[in-house]
A = this chain, B = another copy of it.
Amino acid sequence: MATVPTQPQFLPDGGVTSPRGWQAGARYVGIKRYGTEPRLDLGLLWSERLATAAGVFTRNKVCGAPVAVCRENLADGRAHALVANSGCSNVAMGARGLEDARRMAAITAARLHVSADQVLVASTGVIARPLPMPVIEQGIGEIELTDDGGASFARAIMTTDTVSKERAIRFSVGGQSYVVGGTAKGSGMVHPDMATVFCFLTTDAPIAPSWIAPLLKDTADRSINMTDVDMDTSTSDTMLLLANGAAGGELLSGGEPLGVAFQQALMDVAIELSRDLCRDGEGAETLIEVVVKGASSESDARRAARCIASSPLVKTMITGKDANLGRVLMALGRSGAQLDVESVGIWIGEHEAFHSGTPTELDLKTISDTMRQSEVRVTVELGLGGHQATAWGCDLTEGYIRINADYTT
């Protein structure tokens, strides 16, 4: 039973419809009015089998009506479908917003012959504008659901994203194979107006209802929650895991070998999507990966890694390929993590730039050249304990300013 799992394999062109039993589709209905041409702005994701489901949402105290409706409809841990739109976030619209989000669920439920509380809702885009309900209602009825509709769905949730983000992985244990698929959007850790983070994960594995929520929380904490583009937290951030069990087999739970293998595959997908998000951060040219080791607690490691990955001065250091690694030390110092400056080492790529808290003899050109890669890794050794964390960010460029300043409502 507890056979050694095969090495998980990413599927080419995989996405949310790669796992068995998932269908999706999308349409342009006219919500996303900016840009030069019609782009898909309404998507539907569907499993005929009722899926076990969990969600992780924004911690922003101002949160969108769709987030509230997802929370309500996930109370029983089950879902059949997700309806999502871009172009309008349905945030700060009071009672009307809540009514519109519930209506999106109800219309979708009616079309699919399920109950409204089995439909989840996600909206991203401009804040404080009403959803154009008539075109959305009509669109929901017209979307064609197909087995390879994942790519269209992924495009329908894009805002300032320049590419859609999709991943899927397959792994097998003892003759039983499972697929985890996912899509994400977001071009800032968040920009409430244009770049809320969504990450939707599907699978055909049968996940124990008691395990799905802690599993997703843990996955989020080590993937999406460790990304940063611009330090702002969206009012609509939504991460969902939907497991329809179409692969068959026994229920997967944490702790046992099959569950552990599944968790690793899920984490692989979530981390790749997190990296995809940062690589496509607004204006980004470089993916930054920050690994903090030797921390005295995991929370310290996480705090330090995130603080470095989100520092505007570390970001602009990478933008300028400028060997100012004192900026990493500065960000570390303000992170709040326990610190003994004299035991800190800092590496840029493979090169040690700080040793025992002071600069090494490493020449600045080597550091600069290392920063010219499309992906730059900064490693910090705190020398205090055995805990480690990884965070992802991107450089901060004039492109970010242009996207966020020049876009006019």
Are A127 and B326 interface neighbours, CB within 8 A?
yes
Are A312 and B231 interface neighbours, CB within 8 A?
yes
A381 shortest CB reach to chain B, Å: 15
Say yes or no: is A334 at the interface (Cβ < 8 Å to chain B): yes
Are B94 and A319 interface neighbours, CB within 8 A?
no
**B-side contacts of A401, CB under 8 Å:** 316, 319, 396-398, 400-401
Interface size on A, residues (CB 8 A): 64
- A91 CB contact (under 8 Å) in B91, B127, B311, B326: B326
Give 24 CB contacts A-B under 8 Å.
Answer: A59-B334, A60-B334, A62-B330, A92-B329, A94-B342, A94-B356, A126-B326, A128-B326, A128-B358, A128-B359, A129-B359, A188-B313, A192-B313, A193-B326, A232-B327, A235-B326, A313-B404, A316-B400, A317-B405, A320-B406, A320-B407, A320-B408, A397-B401, A400-B401
A146 to B362, alpha carbons, bound, how many Å? 44
A317 to B230, alpha carbons, bound, how many Å? 14
| Top-6 shortest CB links A-B | A127-B326, A62-B333, A320-B405, A316-B404, A319-B405, A192-B330
A366 shortest CB reach to chain B, Å: 13
Say yes or no: is A357 at the interface (Cβ < 8 Å to chain B): yes
**B-side contacts of A330, CB under 8 Å:** 60, 62, 127, 192, 232-235
**B-side contacts of A329, CB under 8 Å:** 62, 91-92, 127-128, 192, 235
Are A408 and B128 interface neighbours, CB within 8 A?
no
A52 shortest CB reach to chain B, Å: 30
**B-side contacts of A191, CB under 8 Å:** 313
Interface SS, A side: loop
In chain A between 184 and 225, which residues have their CB closer than 8 angstroms to a CB of chain B? 188, 191-193
**B-side contacts of A317, CB under 8 Å:** 404-405
A232 to B323, alpha carbons, bound, how many Å? 18
Say yes or no: is A339 at the interface (Cβ < 8 Å to chain B): yes
Known pairs A127-B330, A232-B312; A341 contacts B92 (CB<8 A): yes
Are B233 and A323 interface neighbours, CB within 8 A?
no
Say yes or no: is A332 at the interface (Cβ < 8 Å to chain B): yes
